[in-house]
Amino acid sequence: MAEQQRSDVLTFYVNGKKVTVSDADPETTLLGFLRQSLRLTGSKYGCGGGGCGACTVMLSRYDPQTKHVHHFSVNACLMPVCQLHGAAVTTVEGIGSTKTRLHPVQERIAKAYGSQCGFCTPGMVMSMYTLLRNKPQPTMEEIRETLGGNLCRCTGYRPIIDGYRTFCESENCCQVIGSAGCTANGNGPLEPAENGQMEPSGKEEFLPLDPTQELIFPPELMRLAESEERTTQTFRGERMTWISPVSLDELLRLKSQHPQAPIVMGNTNLGLDIKFKGVVHPIIISAFRVRELFEVTEKPEGVCVGAGSSLSAVRSVLEKCVCSLPAEHTQTLAALLEQLSRVAGEQIRNVATLGGNIASAYPNSDLNPVLAAGRCSVVLLSREGKREVPLNKDFFVGFGKTILKPDEIVLSVFIPVSRKGEVVRAFRHAPRKENALATVNAGLRVWFEEGSDVVKEMSVYYGGVGPCTVSAERTVQQVVGRPWNEATLSDAYGALVDEVTLGASAPGGKAMFRRSLTLSLLFRFYLHVLQHLKDTNVSEGEIPSEQLSAVEHLPDIIQPSYREFQDVLGGQSEQDPVGRAVPHQSALSHATGEAVYCDDFPRTQGELFLSVVTSSRAHAKITHIDVSRALSMPGVVDVFTAEDIPGKKFRCFTGIGEEILALGEVTCVGQMVCAVVADTKPHAKLASAAVKIHYEDLPDRIFTVEEAVEKRSFFLPQREIQRGDVTEAFQEADHVYEGEIRLEGQEHFYMETQSMLVIPLGEEKEMKVYVSTQHPTMVQEAVAETLGIPSNRVSCHVKRIGGAFGGKVTKTSILASITALAAWRTERPVRCVLERGEDMLITGARHPVLGKYKVGFTNDGRITAADVRYYANAGNTPDESVLVIEKILLHMDNTYNIPNLRGQSAACKTNLPSNTAFRGFGVPQSLMVIENMINDVAVLLGRPAEEIREKNMYKEASLTHYKMEFDPENLLRCWEECKERSELDRRRLDVARFNQQSRWKKRGIALIPIKYGIGFAEGFLNQAAALVHIYKDGTVLVSHGGTEMGQGIHTKVQQVASRELDVPLSMIHISETSTSSVPNTCPSAASFGTDANGMAVKDACQTLYKRLEPIRKQDPNGTWQSWVAKAFLERISLSATGFYRGHDLYMDWEKQEGRPYAYFTYAACCSEVELDCLTGEYRTVRTDLVADIGRSINPSIDIGQIEGAFMQGLGLFTMEELKFSPSGVLYTRGPGQYKIPAVCDVPLQFNVYLLSGSHNPHAIYSSKGIGEPTLFLGSSVFFALKEAVAAARSDAGLGGPFALHSPATPERACIACSTRFTQMIPQAETETAQPWALELP
């Protein structure tokens, strides 16, 4: 077999077309094959590890035994192409397009405003499509579960859910889920909504779902499955050979011959090892064609499940068993079902197998603790024979290790029925409610003497607290033979504390939290069992009412939500789209996969791929770079270092140079040192790993802001601002309090990683740069300076960006310079697309900040003085950090008129990757410190926090602390309307009542305001230009300097052009942003893109309209087309540039005064949460948000921005953690370790209102910028959580202000609650071992 030198032929179908592959490489994934070989680029690369769902496709297989076709969603990035023999693949291109017909699943997400950047949309579409193929009328719960494996960073998910709830089977589904939130109201896919407010929609407004019109499963594949002589298949690649046997005997023979060869089924473990850890297996055995591994046998004593069964298939088997068996026999089955519903996302569950889960023996496996506790066993098979072994503590022998012999396989798993008097439960806690590996999980079983509450037998297994699944035997010994009561369990808790120990350096960290979870979960089990004993009439006792909340689930049913638009102006023309809800101009292209992103451009002849080599040391001298091995590898063309740069070797962002490639010294892990170019991406990646850099470590590494302050390591200048006499005010204050809050950073996690393609044109030193950037001109200048050529030889083109959030400005220009260098040197096109892990390592994040404050206030809550110091962890280069710390100080007053206010800020220079711009640009960190200070004042005075906020607000036309005048009228209106809409006063009483009655669940509610300055304080950045062409057929082409990254700037600009030229939207097109069309552009940032570029387009359109005026007067009854044709004949120019000078904004830091902003955007947000004090898990029960955005140009886009920013803020303040090792290495390099909000994190009720009757004379059509401001309002969830924690602390006898740092993760919230279980864990003794991760900032 393996000795033969040929590869077998692979046959499968894609979108109804036959595909045969004679040279399949085992390392080729379905995603790579679709994108490179078939040019089907609708499926996107988002993470490469099955964690984001952007690559979701539908796989269909025919089972000749049942004569049934199975459809299931998979992550194409993990699915090996060699696994596809006999399968039919359906991609987003295969279900519909704008050129042929749309599929309803595509149409509804587009009509519901469910796409912004659009990069995740094809994956969402295919997840939903697969569900509909299996169940044309799904329930809302099935829809939510289906979308659980798909991430979106733009929309906040609400419009996606709204679009797809229209498929629900229930006629009154919308009454259950939220009628006012149903979005699409029957207007054509790209036509504006006619009214000012979202209306419920009827399903008749959409294309009907007709299952008879779907692609059929190819009959040829059915015949192949029925008649094909089943033989072993072998596929050979460059480094690995893939063998796929069809019989159990052949599988065992292969395993005997190649005992070290792994068996692959779903590729969810092995694929990650090969891709991310560089593991190479010369031979891989694929067992997915061995039928015996999929057999399911039901017996009276239990069910035997084939080890090859997918987790989804196991779930179906268990559901059937639970329905058919008596309740007392289903304890283990039900517990397993509970875990299975929360393991990973649907795409992973569809391919990951039961046997793989057991054999991989991960320490936090969700299934192994339950299988072990539930007395399950496995059948192991080799050529030597068969053995059945129990899944118990002896089965798992270490990290990733079991008692399996090298030549053994797991054949099946036996799950016994539970016995009378037996109770089995499973629990898990994870960093995110769904689609996240568990922090700690547990499988617990107790068996009672018949008719008694005396324990006969017990099993307690935990995952996540050791190198493998842990059995708490000493704890069990404390319970067996004793009655099930509090005294027994008290002894068990003591034993458990001693038995399960974790040191500070334990992998994964969170030692105290994980240990406390073992106790909390045991307590929860104790209560469940009490209830079971009562229900089965064994015991009179029941769960004490005050403890009942421990076993109740957090709320999870989505309630009716509401979004209120503004009415369009009276008398406005029907054709005028301004102020109407126009869907995103690319929404349909997003949904069909036709939208082209940078890496979707076809490969050109001779194209090379670039891979960067990064530093592995935080602070070291480079002594030698050895590229010899890399250069000798297949496909490698060259390796480039800083020495090869012909022009400038530095880039300047704020006056201080940043090296393009490291010169002699590295100052962080992840700094780019050199770059490898090769003929393919895999070759480039392998070669870059082969480059050996020799270092000499340098002393004085600095990682935290405290270390930087101690060593005076700053990027200058530091900034300070003051009004009033702070020192004197402190002396006169009734109270003075000092506090601090630490805010961690945040990864941008744009769905499209950094991507660029540079093409040398071969003459006159010209270079074309196709790049995903917010600042095309910066890229143009960077490339020109790096190559030492004039800017007019470099043209930069941006079609669209798959999300950016500030992260595609500075580092993008450096990456583009390196890519251009390679193209320049090789004289060939070069493409660079970062892997997700590389992107997270290299590009930096939001600045972590330490905020320290001293506040003076009166007895009635009036703040008279505040002194605040901000220390931002800037990383190893200045980037834009000085600008960030300036904006931090400019916003430190938020909405509060504090008469004596002093702020100081410093950008700390450390040996971490350089942090950069991120949506909000320092403002969320600035306001978080101030709001935490206000919160502390409220706690000290025993008053509701909103009362203190309101008392200190600006009340009339005022001056900010930098002497800029403004009128807070609309701020106060937002605040009052939010209080009213959220029914705050009533709900605050409800929250107090709830907390009084509930011991283990607590609620909190918080109302937060914001005043956000719009525009660039550097006046020259507020300018914009545009170019508008009218063609002879009357169609209009608009070019402007803004880049489309999901914020809808192109759509709004089209609306502007439509109004000014008085032509329909359908006649206006925007192709791309290009420095050839519009030069000297400013970045699309600071929520100012539409303000500036809209005005420039307006200027150009008005020029053209004026030129056509004589023609219109001559022929007042003519059409637009006739006027344009006449103008051409009369030699009137039909092309015009437009320009907008922008506001004269400035800030004089010497005088501490200025006008750095054009105007302010105001908003207020009220959120209520429910917190599980035992685990720190929470749900946002309701959010009400009122925003003053002037007169919205496009309310659907603006509300999308509001919701998306809010969810990003919710992630920042409650979920997202960047973790670095003590040596400065980033641990969290993908969605597996770094958790952004998912569908399960959306507030159960999310109401958004646009303030009516607002005007803004400082921006186009009286609108306001909205992209950034509402991100900070995600902190309303943080402060609601803090209030819930305070209620729990009150029960524990604790009062007064307390530290809760950001993000308020379940770990922090749980420990802050200070329950009896966290108090049982001894405070970590002073350990010599280093902590697992750095404590930032």
Both tokens assigned to 668:
């962080």
141 noted as active-site residue: no
C-alpha neighbours within 13 Å on the C-beta side of residue 1031 = 8
Measured CA to CA, the distance from residue 84 to residue 69 in angstroms comes to 15
**Nearest Cα residue to 317 out of 332, 337, 331, 300:** 337
User: What is the chain's percent helix, strand, coil content, to nearest 5?
Assistant: 35, 25, 45
Residue 517's H or E segment, with its range, is helix 511-535
Contacts of range 299-306, beta carbons closer than 8 Å, 24 or more positions apart: 300/417, 301/416, 301/417, 302/414, 302/415, 302/416, 302/417, 303/333, 303/414, 303/415, 304/379, 304/412, 304/413, 304/414, 304/415, 305/354, 305/412, 305/413, 305/414, 305/415, 306/354, 306/355, 306/411, 306/412
Burial 465-479 (b: 16+ CB within 10 A, else e): bbebbbbbeebbebb
Spatial contact of 1010 and 1186, defined as CB atoms under 8 Å apart = no
Spatial contact of 126 and 109, defined as CB atoms under 8 Å apart = no
Measured CA to CA, the distance from residue 278 to residue 261 in angstroms comes to 16
Q: What distances in angstroms separate CA 599 from CA 24, 134, 682, 756, 811, one per listed residue?
A: 23, 32, 15, 7, 18
Which of these is catalytic: 434, 838, 1268, 1283?
1268
**Nearest Cα residue to 884 out of 855, 844, 926, 852:** 926
Which amino acid is residue 483, in one-letter code?
Answer: P
Measured CA to CA, the distance from residue 820 to residue 814 in angstroms comes to 10
Peptide bond into 262 cis (omega under 30): no
Both tokens assigned to 72:
């299931």
Both tokens assigned to 10:
């692979």
**Nearest Cα residue to 422 out of 445, 396, 388:** 445
Burial 594-629 (b: 16+ CB within 10 A, else e): bbbbbbbbeeeeebbbbbbbbbbbbbbebeebebee
**Nearest Cα residue to 746 out of 658, 672, 807, 668:** 807
Measured CA to CA, the distance from residue 301 to residue 528 in angstroms comes to 25
C-alpha neighbours within 13 Å on the C-beta side of residue 173 = 22
Q: What distances in angstroms separate CA 668 from CA 368, 377, 911, 1224, 1225, one per listed residue?
A: 39, 49, 5, 7, 9
Spatial contact of 1305 and 1235, defined as CB atoms under 8 Å apart = no
Polymer length of the chain: 1337
Residue 1115 burial (CB < 10 Å; 0-12/13-18/19+)? exposed
Strand intervals (E) in 940-985? 958-959, 965-966
Q: Find the radius of gyration of the CA atoms of the chain.
A: 31
Q: What is the DSSP letter of 185?
A: -
In a 3-state reduction of DSSP, which class is residue 428? strand
Q: Dump the DSSP string for 1241-1268.
A: GS-SSEEEEEPTT---TTSGGGB---TT
In a 3-state reduction of DSSP, which class is residue 323? helix
Measured in whole angstroms, the distance separating CA 53 from the mean position of its chain's CA atoms is 11
Residue 215's H or E segment, with its range, is none
Catalytic (active-site) positions: 1268
